[in-house]
Amino acid sequence: MTIAVAIAVAVAVALSAFVAYVAVRNELRGEVDRALEEQRLIPPPQTQGGPRFGRGGFGRLPARFGGPTPYIQLIDPGNGVEVRGSEAVAMPVQDRARDVAAGVADRYFDDVTVGGTHVRVLTVPLEGGFAVQFGRSLEPADAVLSRLRLILVLVVLGGVALAVALGRLVSRNVVAPIAEVSDAARHIAQTEDLGRRIKVETQDEIGELAEHFNAMMDTLERSVAAQRQLVADASHELRTPITSLRTNIEVLAESEALPPDERARLLQDVEEQTTELGMLVADLIELARGDEPRRESEDVRLDALVREALTRARRHAPGIVFDAVLEPAVLDGTRERLARAVNNLLDNAAKHSPPGGVVHVTAGPSGVTVRDHGTGVAEEDLPYLFDRFYRGASSRGRPGSGLGLAIVRQVAEQHGGTVRASNTPTGGAEFTLELPASTPTGEPEPTPSSSLWRT
């Protein structure tokens, strides 16, 4: 940034200095040219008679036009030269000047050196086949231009130096927050300390970067904390079935001393514990997968998904009656995850329903509602019902991992929805999974009489 600023300023200052120098040079030389033109307008001398060109002279220029012209000389076509100016020094005669005297060339300006002096010369024709040259020194103008060049060079160098200093100061202030972000990232990579934050002091793009970095660290810290809590909870929940399973296996290792009926009971316990352990591991994997960001999504027909889940639920719980009202609905989401959430709600309702009980299910643009007619949920358990590994009083003693409803809440949040539980006045619990669904395009709004599927 500093180099870029210095180059930009150097180019701008150098260009300005060049334009200023050219303008001053043209003005100074223009004044000399105007003085020579004024001298030309003074009546020329008589060129007839006299020893060579006559004795006439050229008038003196007033001071406002630059004063007397020091270099004047007459030229004839035969290479004759006669000096008429105050400086008794002949100026070099070029072939072009003789062409002017001969009438074959027009007037022109030229720069020559006369006795070491830089002179500006105007050559014009005279009547009678002669030419006259007027010359004025350019030394004063050259001196001014020399000093101007020095000044402009110093200005350019000073401007570049100032640009470097200011660019360095500005770039340091601009880069400082970025360097702080880099330092924070390096610190986190080396120490794994996720508590490091950046102080936001500005409202510009750098301040926005700092805010996004802090937000990213907050999300990462919450994610890591959730993972650690999941590992801790999983370790606690796995310890009991693993210990029980190991104890039963150790007892079975001495099966020769056990009665057949006791050995059969232990084998059944081992099988049940293995199944429960497998379910717990599967739920843990599902819960861990749910923390990953959604990668693939599609338009999911919620009513069709619930209809498939009902078919599965009737197969797994043949003693329960599932009554469903399905309205056409579609949402953007992950079909597999949504199906898992609906299955968990149906399994939970079937688990807490009495034999032959009825589970009412509704699905549509507002989401999915599942209502059972069991004993309901204790009021003190309602705030914690969707926490990981939490099991209410009515669930203790029943098989399960305590992760099913936690998965439901996770799926709901991933799809921009919510889930809640409540007790109904007539008994039982009602779970509502609200999702941002809508009526499919091209289908009429559902009405109670014509657009509902009842199963």
Q: What is the mean pLDDT of residues 420-436?
A: 93
Q: What is the mean pLDDT of residues 210-239?
A: 75
Residue 337 · residue 448 · CB < 8 Å: no
Alpha-helical regions (H) of 192-256: 205-253
Q: Which two tokens stand for residue 182?
A: 């880099």
pLDDT in tens, 360-382: 999 999 999 999 998 888 888 88
Q: What are phi and psi of 338, to 5 degrees?
A: -65, -40
Tell me which H or E stretch contains 157. helix 139-191
- Residue 438, burial from CB neighbour count under 10 angstroms (0-12, 13-18, 19+): middle
pLDDT above 90 covers what percent of the chain?
34
Residue whose token pair is 């990668």: 295
Rg for the chain, CA atoms, rounded: 51
405 HSE (CA, 13 A, CB side): 25
* Angstrom distance (rounded) from CA 25 to CA 121: 17
Residue 142 · residue 118 · CB < 8 Å: yes
Specify the range with the lowest mean pLDDT, choosing from 49-63, 73-87, 237-251, 323-337.
Answer: 49-63
- DSSP annotation of 65 reads G
Specify the range with the lowest mean pLDDT, choosing from 155-159, 213-217, 310-314.
Answer: 213-217
* Angstrom distance (rounded) from CA 194 to CA 182: 14
- The yes-or-no verdict on residue 201 having pLDDT over 80 is no
- The yes-or-no verdict on residue 291 having pLDDT over 80 is no
| Top-level class of domain 205-290 | mainly alpha
Q: What is the mean pLDDT of residues 433-442?
A: 89
pLDDT score at 51: 37
- Residue 353, burial from CB neighbour count under 10 angstroms (0-12, 13-18, 19+): buried
Specify the range with the lowest mean pLDDT, choosing from 9-13, 81-85, 449-453.
Answer: 449-453
- The yes-or-no verdict on residue 399 having pLDDT over 60 is no
Q: What are phi and psi of 321, to 5 degrees?
A: -95, 125
**108-114: strand order across its sheet:** 81-83, 71-75, 130-137, 117-126, 108-114
What is the fold, at CATH topology level, of the domain defined by 44-135? Beta-Lactamase (3.30.450)
Residue 32's nearest CA partner among 168, 128, 138 is: 138
Q: What are phi and psi of 261, to 5 degrees?
A: -65, -35
pLDDT score at 449: 35
pTM (2 decimals)?
0.50
Q: Which two tokens stand for residue 334?
A: 């992950």
Beta bridge partners of 125: 131
- The yes-or-no verdict on residue 110 having pLDDT over 90 is yes
Residue 374 · residue 428 · CB < 8 Å: yes
Q: Residue 446 CB: number of other CB atoms within 10 A?
A: 19
Q: What are phi and psi of 110, to 5 degrees?
A: -155, 155
- Residue 136, burial from CB neighbour count under 10 angstroms (0-12, 13-18, 19+): buried
Q: What are phi and psi of 371, to 5 degrees?
A: -125, 130
Q: What are phi and psi of 10, to 5 degrees?
A: -60, -45
Q: What does each C-alpha distance from 448 to 16, 427, 430, 441, 445 come to in angstroms?
A: 82, 25, 21, 19, 10
- The yes-or-no verdict on residue 108 having pLDDT over 90 is yes
In CATH, which of 3.30.70.1140, 1.10.150.120, 3.40.50.300, 3.30.565.10 is domain 298-454? 3.30.565.10
- The yes-or-no verdict on residue 248 having pLDDT over 90 is no
Residue 359 · residue 320 · CB < 8 Å: yes
pLDDT score at 293: 57
- The yes-or-no verdict on residue 391 having pLDDT over 80 is no
* Sequence ranges of the domains in the chain: 1-41+138-190, 44-135, 205-290, 298-454
- The yes-or-no verdict on residue 166 having pLDDT over 60 is yes
Q: What does each C-alpha distance from 195 to 132, 206, 292, 397 come to in angstroms?
A: 92, 20, 22, 41
Q: What is the mean pLDDT of residues 138-149?
A: 93
Q: Which phi-psi region, left, alpha or beta, contains residue 115 (left: φ > 0; alpha: ψ -120 to 50)?
A: left
Residue 371's nearest CA partner among 321, 330, 315 is: 321
Average pLDDT, the chain: 81
Same fold, 44-135 and 298-454: no
* Angstrom distance (rounded) from CA 316 to CA 377: 23
Q: What is the mean pLDDT of residues 399-424?
A: 86
Residue 156's nearest CA partner among 6, 3, 359 is: 6
pLDDT score at 312: 92
Residue whose token pair is 């379910």: 279
Under 8 Å CB-to-CB from 329, ≥6 apart: which residues? 301, 302, 303, 363, 364, 365, 437, 438, 439, 440
